[in-house]
Amino acid sequence: MWLIATAVVGLLSACGTAASPGAAAPRPALPRYVSPAQMALLPIATTFGRSPGAPQDPDPFEPVTGIVLHPTATRVVFARPGGPPVAALPTTELKNPTWVPVVQSQPGWDRVLLPTRPNRSTGWIYLGDGGVQTAYSA
């Protein structure tokens, strides 16, 4: 009996604790404020640009989500949710609307593959204040 009780306690410990039914979901991290003057100093994430502070895609060969994101206003790109700004993603590139693939999501944020150098650069876009459209690309 003691062995069974120990095994059950071990399994429950490994699984963590379940949230109570009335518990609120964790709030997404809020973005740092970036003034217009600070935004003007950020590198523009375009085909011919460089975003040296942007993190690399941690799993570039992971299957993609099929979701693409279009900024309806120039958006600040962050290194991580709530982290420092690393670039600005414009609404258009090469005279066409900018659409970037979403490679990861978490509440309030999407990680996108940036159209900039170095290749496989990514960044996080805050979704909580609008300014983006999403679509599914098969």
Q: What is the mean pLDDT of residues 97-112?
A: 96
49 burial type by CB count under 10 A (0-12 exposed, 13-18 middle, 19+ buried) = middle
User: For residues 84 and 124, is the Cβ–Cβ distance under 8 A?
Assistant: no
Please give the span between the terminal C-alpha atoms of the chain, in angstroms, as a whole number: 54
- What would the pLDDT profile of 39-81 be if each residue is shown by its tens digit? 999 999 999 999 999 999 988 888 878 999 999 999 999 999 9
- What is the Cα–Cα distance from 81 to 83, expressed in whole angstroms? 5
Diameter over CA atoms, the chain: 72
- Give 3-14 pLDDT, tens digit per residue: 333 333 343 344
Angstrom distance (rounded) from CA 27 to CA 128 = 11
Give domain limits for the chain.
Answer: 30-136
